[in-house]
Structure 1
Amino acid sequence: MKISFRYALLAIPLAAVLGLSFATRPAYRDLNKNGKMDVYEDASKPVAARVNDLLSQMTLEEKAGMMFINGVRLNDDGSLEERPGTGMFAFAPTAPALIRDKKMNHLNIWAAPGTKALATWYNNIQKMAEESRLGIPITLASDPRHYFSNNIFAMSAETFSQWPEQLGFAAIGDEALTRKFADIARQEYLAVGIREALHPMADLATEPRWPRVSGTFGEDANLSAKMIKAYVLGFQGATLDKNGVACMTKHFSGGGPQKEGLDPHFEFQKGQVYPGNNFNYHLIPFEAAFAAKTAAIMPYYGVPTDQTSENVAFSFNKDIITKLLREKYKYDGVVCTDWGLITDAKMGNVVWPARAWGVEKLSEKERVLKVINAGVDQFGGESVPDYVVALVKEGQLSEKRVDESVRRLLRQKFELGLFDNPYVDVDKATQIVGKDEFKKAGEAAQRRAITLLKNDAKTLPLSGKKKIFVQNIDKTVAAQYGEVVDTPEAAELAIIRLKTPWVPIETENFLAKMFHHGDLDFKGKEKDDILKLLNTVPTIVDIYLDRPAVIPEISAKAKALVANYGASDAALLDVIFGKAKPEGKLPFELPSSMEAVRNQKEDVPYDSKDPLYKFGFGLSYSK
């Protein structure tokens, strides 16, 4: 008898949608010869057997749909009603369209509503998936949502606990804290149904101008490796199971060495460079991810220039994916491309070209074939499974090769327990996400990561109720620490918060304009105004380092200088006024000039001439 599997809950699905919990485990259905459903239990079988059972029942179209994951927009009330998109992600598709029309069952979210609406929406899409022919559950993925940051890739939401960025954990250097953070983030993700983390970043920040430095653990490979291992173990556990969140570690084989720091999300940068012949150094953090059994790997966009037999981007590159990742490292987890390698994205009147660097002349279908032949399993940010179907039917791609990738993707779903119960308890989610214990832990980490770079005459920590002038700080918050005055001249001290400078790229692509490219030093009137303040009143300067700032004049004039990697005003002021201690050490060097930045090698760590502050530098308060 040919079995047609159908995923189902034995309990009433509507109750699950409403967030009620069940003791009863779901089961498969067998359509018998009489056309009636016989429910039987199958969860006791080994995962490999369950994968093979289900794979044998899948049509080519269903297999192809599984090989794609795309971002979706959400309604604020968690419903699946089709509504026009608004805001930054208005161009994104909706979940029902991808599930119904494309037979996709991997989705990722960007902007999201509050906890209750997100959990409700998640249950709604699982209910919809349950009603499909085979009832394969949805795997929901997300970029980081826990960082106190304005970074475009930190999809923070106030409901989640808020922590420093990866750089902050590297600055603290505490593997146990990194694992604790990942475990807390895992619990919050699990509560709302996010089962795949599109992070951590194992890239090394060897090029200080790169806009994605803030997502890394800095420029030292060994420090990054320690943090990566702790991070993955915190999310996944020693063995991935129903309590874990799968990590998609990125961006193999290291996206840090970008020429002049320009990012290959966009057509103005297609190749990363290795002037220091240091390709292998960038593999060290990924080796730690493999040791922790990361569930998935994502390659980056750029071309590893002159490092392989053909100058094509990582996901199209068989030397990178098959020879290096699959064969040398024996990696058998899921490999998913970064987003948007196959089709152009149309955002209003702006066309964002597919990041098919090195293979731009190939058709969309030919790009799909080249990616699969390179050894990749899944296409990120794409919804074109029809190309896979056509390639198989035309004889250009074997269904056996498709089965290899689908088997890995199914295995991950089974390991996560999604076939046993994909639903979440909505009420419980609102109690777990952002609970006081988690928020306090995140706030404490923000404080610990703050790095004290200069402290003339032991200015810090401050004591007493001083007259302070503040800039870029909430005056209501500042008033809890000192007497806030309106002018520098009336103050005993000034406290100013700065951000590492950047220069918007001239382009019609609004996303490209949001990336922090360009020079790292303050210029013109902005610099003059800062120095004028520093010359007027003794000033404590705090700077947010999403990239290594070039601040020699500011450092020289500041009475005290601290750096943060995502911290609230209260976190900063607690450190300045001695309620908390700065523990951070720089996870990268701060160059002394832009000339030094331009002369350093993109693939080599801490190699700029006469850095202002060296990698690992950080003062502490004396007892």
Structure 2
Amino acid sequence: MSPSPVPALLIAEDGTAFRDLDHDGVMAPFEDPRRSADERAEDLTARLTLEEKAGLLFHTIIETSPDGEVVEGTGRARSMSTRGMVLDQGITHVNVHALPPGARLAARWANRVQELAAEGPHSIPVTISTDPRHSSIENEGAAFAAGAMSAWPEPLGLGALGDPEIVREFADAARREYRAVGIRAALHPQIDLATEPRWGRQFHTFGPDAQRVSRMAEAYLDGFQITGDLGPDSVACMAKHFPGGGPQKDGEDPHFPYGREQVYPGGRFEEHLEPFRAAIARGVSALMPYYGMPVGLERGGESIEEVGFGFNRQVLTGILREELGYDGVICTDWGLLTDTVVMGLPLPARAWGVEHLDLAGRMIRALEAGVDQFGGEQCPEVLVALVREGRLEEARIDASVRRLLRVKFQLGLFENPFVDEDAAEEIVGAAELVAAGRRAQAASTTILVDGRRGASGPAGAEPGPDPDPGPDAEPGPDAEPVPAHPSLHLPLTGTDRKVFAWGLGEAAAARLGTVVATPEEADVAIVRLEEPFDPRADLFLEPFFHQGSLEYRPGLLARLRLIAEQAPLVVDATLLRPAILAPLTEIATVLVASYGSSDEALVDALTGAVPPRGRLPFEIPSSMEAVRASLTDVPGGTADPTFPAGHSAAS
């Protein structure tokens, strides 16, 4: 059950019921539910102390406890007690990572946070936000595994389906599950165009096509926010990363110092703006600029300053506010101001182009650029000092406070921030939501080669020369071609076969036949491959970012060749980036791509229980040389791609 309303529910002299948020027994304008969100935000802003205002401009990570109670002690290096954060610092926008286990405890924790917030002088409710958490895979720093919630395709898989109705269905399901546990803000969708094949964040995009991404963004917002104006049933979305984070130089991510540069050698800056134009027209609640700094960018004859987008007034005020007419919240990506050390690993502040400034100088620079809120930061006392010292006008702070409060009023949090713990148990992970997510995962599977192999990939092509597997490979480059198995094709109906499985769970593999221990015993071998990348672990978060090469290891390819010599080979390539698949087309009899789906969903696709109908959301380059020669900001365009965008061998 949900707790009783705190503060007290009173009746005004004119008969209006209101929550006594400032505990004085009188209905103030900001407590009047009949007034507009803008009116209420204006009134409350005028009543807040500078310290209360400053707290609203910070949106930081919050810790939870497994018993559903708030954390009162200190935890990791940057954290403090929930009471200290919410009441002492006035921070009422929090980003939750690990939720308590199970929907009931997650909802209980959210209610405890709101009860604590109600002790404040104006009972400002907490907006609980999250990164995506409807995945079958865990990627800390970008997204979370679904846990008790339903699991769906990664956005790249939704892009492979290309169906706005499925995107809307997913967003509606996620909205219901979020709301059930008290999450009212989504730090997504990610509507960057994935134009640089090496970029490590593209698995949470819908692909590189501006028109398709725009359609997906509109459907996503329809499902989460419901209407252009937020309401009590909405989850507010923060689309990212303005003005488009895809064109990273060499594909390196600007979370890290070596990836700070965004480049536009093809002159496509305007194309990267298109999804954001669509999101703004659809009423997106908040936008997040990326860390990257534009290099060599000119627009309308004017050079754009080479500083990170979160510090860039030409981009945030000139383009976003003035040209695009956006008046929602601008929240920085996490950690622009403060250098940190987490788990013994350094993580420099992403103050690209303004590294020479101290924390206070960076804060001033971002606010002057047009930022309303600092993501991942927890230092409102610095902002208070800047106003007290006359280095910032309080009126500038007020403008952001009004925007931030307006969203809380629109969401109905001041009327009722609490959730029903019994209902959370029924809504989160409901059977129909889980089934819908699994169907979507299976349907997003893309058939690349079905039954025959060849250098160009499509069925019926002649085999090409074997790739050089490297010095550790056996057999050597002069080995006979792997025999073709034209009789093997999808769907894999029936179970009268012996199956060798690698990378596929035994329970899922058993749906295809009798599981055996070696390829020599098998009638068919099924292999699930993780995406190729260069492991890195020098900076915090680096291990979670799959960056660098798109090529599979030579030894892995040699191992697959040995398996294929013993049994016809079905390969599922996990595509969170466009891997170099040409060698696999010479080895696998059946080659499919998936986008973070579960083992069970993959088997649904392989057996035809759910017909796979995904199409490649991006092109598959033929080599790393082709990737390096392509234009970073241009969709596709690599020489002689193995598969074009939109490819499918499905009948």
Range into which the TM-score falls when normalised by the shorter chain: over 0.9
Cα 1:451–1:30 change in 2 (3 A) is closer
The match for 1:485 is 516
Determine the C-alpha separation between the residues in 2 that align with 1:543 and 1:82.
Answer: 45
Q: Which of 198, 206, 229 matches 1:209?
A: 198
Query: Displacement, 1:43?
Result: 0.6
Change (3 A) 1:30 1:288: closer
> Out of 285, 295, 300, which is 2:275 matched to?
285
1:183 maps onto 2:214 in alignment: no
Instruction: Give the secondary-structure state (helix, strand or coil) at the position aligned to 1:463.
Output: coil
> How many Å separate the matches in 2 of 1:91 and 1:536?
54
Matched with 2:94 is 107
Structure 2 unaligned segments of length 5 or more: list them. Answer: 11-15, 298-302, 452-485
1:600-619 → structure 2 map (5 Å cutoff):
600-619=630-649
Written as runs of structure 1 = structure 2, the 5 A alignment for 1:265-414 is: 265-307=255-297, 308-414=303-409
Q: Deviations over 1:30-56 (max 9, x none)?
A: 67xxxx634676111122221121111
Matched, 1:72 2:62: yes
**Residue in structure 1 matching 2:8, options 10, 17, 31:** 10
Q: How far apart are the structure 2 equivalents of 1:60 and 1:299?
A: 26
Counterparts of 1:476 and 1:155 in 2: how far apart (Å)? 24
User: Is the 2:264–2:633 Cα contact (8 Å) retained in structure 1?
Assistant: yes
Q: Is the 8 A contact 1:263 1:269 kept in 2?
A: yes
- Once the two structures are TM-superposed, the CA of residue 555 in structure 1 deviates from its matched residue by 1.4
Whole-angstrom CA distance in 1 between matches of 2:343 and 2:500: 44
- Looking at structure 1, the residues matched to 447 and 232 of structure 2 have their Cα atoms a distance apart, in angstroms, of 42
Q: 1:129 aligns with which of 94, 117, 120?
A: 117
CA offsets, 1:66-112, max 9 Å, x none?
A: 00010011111111242453xxx665444222112211111011122
Correspondence for 2:416: 421
The CA distance in 2 between the partners of 1:309 and 1:179, in whole Å, is 36
Contact 1:30 1:39 in 2 (8 A): no
Give the drift of 1:534. 2.0
Which residue matches 2:473? none
Query: Alignment partner of 2:192: what SS?
Result: coil
Give the match for residue 156 of structure 2: 167
Matching residue within 485, 494, 498 for 1:467: 498
C-alpha distance in structure 2 between counterparts of 1:552 and 1:350, whole Å: 37
**In structure 2, what residue type is equivalent to 1:266?**
F
1:525–1:30 Cα change, 3 Å: closer
Per the TM alignment, residue 567 of structure 1 is displaced from its structure 2 partner at its CA by 1.2
Cα 1:445–1:11 change in 2 (3 A) is: same
Return the offset for 1:468.
Answer: 1.2
Tell me which amino acid in the other structure corresponds to 1:384: C
User: Secondary structure of the residue that 1:100 maps to in structure 2?
Assistant: helix
My pick for the range that moved more, 133-142 or 521-530, is 521-530
Superposed CA offset, 1:341-373 (max 9, x none): 001112243331110000000010010000000
Residue 485 of structure 1: how far off its partner (Å) = 1.4
Question: In 2, distance between residues paired with 1:494 and 1:565?
Answer: 21
Q: What pairs with 1:144-155 in structure 2 (closer than 5 Å)?
A: 144-152=132-140, 153-155=142-144
Deviation digits for residues 195-244 of structure 1, max 9, x if unmatched?
A: 10000001111111111010100111111111011001110012210000
Q: Which amino acid aligns with 2:283?
A: K
Shift of 1:340: 0.2
1:557 counterpart SS class: coil
Among candidates 510, 517, 528, match of residue 497 of structure 1? 528
Q: Matched residue of 1:231: which SS?
A: helix
Q: Secondary structure at the match of 1:186?
A: helix
The answer to whether the 8 Å contact 2:74/2:81 transfers is no
Paired position in structure 2 for 1:263: 253
The reply to whether residue 523 of structure 1 matches residue 510 of structure 2 is no
Query: What's the counterpart of residue 3 of structure 1?
Result: none
Q: Give yes or no for the alignment of 1:562 onto 2:557.
A: no
* Partner of residue 586 from structure 1, selected from 609, 616, 624: 616
After superposing the two structures, state which structure 1 stretch, 519-528 or 90-99, moved more.
90-99
Q: 1:514-565 CA deviation, whole Å, 9 max, x = no partner? A: 2101101112322211222123221111011011010211112211110001
Residues 308-365 of structure 1 show CA distances to partners (whole Å, capped at 9, x for unaligned) of: 4321000100001000000000000000000000011122433311100000000100
Quote the residue 1:21 is aligned against. Answer: none
Kept in 2: contact 1:531–1:554 (CA 8 A): no
Instruction: Select which of 576, 600, 603 maps to 1:573.
Output: 603
Distance 2:493 2:109 in 1: 49
Give the 3 Å change call, closer, same or farther, for CA 81–245 of structure 1 in structure 2.
closer
Gap change, CA 1:431 and 1:506, over 3 Å in 2: closer
Q: Secondary structure at the match of 1:619?
A: coil
List, as ranges, runs of 4+ consecutive aligned residues in structure 1 with deviation greater than 4 Å.
none
Give the letter for the 2:255 counterpart. H
Q: Which 10-residue stretch deviates more, 269-278 or 439-448?
A: 269-278
Check conservation: 2:569, 2:588, Cα contact below 8 A.
Answer: yes
> Match for 2:622: what amino acid?
S
Q: Given the two structures, how large is their TM-score scaled by the length of structure 1?
A: 0.93
Distance 2:396 2:429 in 1: 43
After superposition, the Cα gap between the structure-2 partners of 1:29 and 1:336, relative to the gap in structure 1 and judged at 3 Å, is closer
SS in 2 for 1:448: helix
RMSD: 1.7
- Following superposition, the deviation at residue 399 of structure 1 comes to 1.1
585, 599, 603: which one pairs with 2:629? 599
Q: Distance in 2 between matches of 1:486 and 1:8?
A: 61
Cα separation, 2, equivalents of 1:327 and 1:427: 46
Q: 1:488 to 1:449 in 2, by over 3 A?
A: same
Tell me if structure 2 keeps the 8 A contact 1:343–1:382.
yes
Bigger shift: 383-392 or 435-444?
A: 383-392
Query: C-alpha displacement at 1:467, in angstroms?
Result: 1.3
Say whether 1:142 aligns with 2:130.
yes
The TM-score with structure 2 as length reference comes to 0.89
* Aligned with residue 46 of structure 2, among 56, 69, 72: 56
Residue 184 of structure 1 aligns to a residue in which SS? Answer: helix
Provide the rounded CA distance (Å) in 2 between the counterparts of 1:488 and 1:291: 55
- 1:43 lines up with 2:41 in the alignment: no
Partner of 2:215: 226
CA contact (8 A) 1:581 1:620 kept: no
Contact kept? 2:71, 2:82, Cα under 8 Å: no
SS for the counterpart of 2:259 is coil
Identity %: 46
Q: CA deviation at 1:247?
A: 0.3
1:241–1:415 Cα contact (<8 Å) kept = yes
d(CA) in 2 for partners of 1:405, 1:11: 29
CA contact (8 A) 2:240 2:288 kept: yes
Q: Deviations over 1:180-201 (max 9, x none)?
A: 1101100100011111000000
Task: Provide structure 1 residue ranges, at least 5 long, that are not aligned to the other structure.
Answer: 1-6, 13-23
Instruction: Count residues in correspondence.
Output: 596
The Cα shift of 1:26 comes to 4.8
1:304, distance to aligned residue in structure 2 (A): 1.2
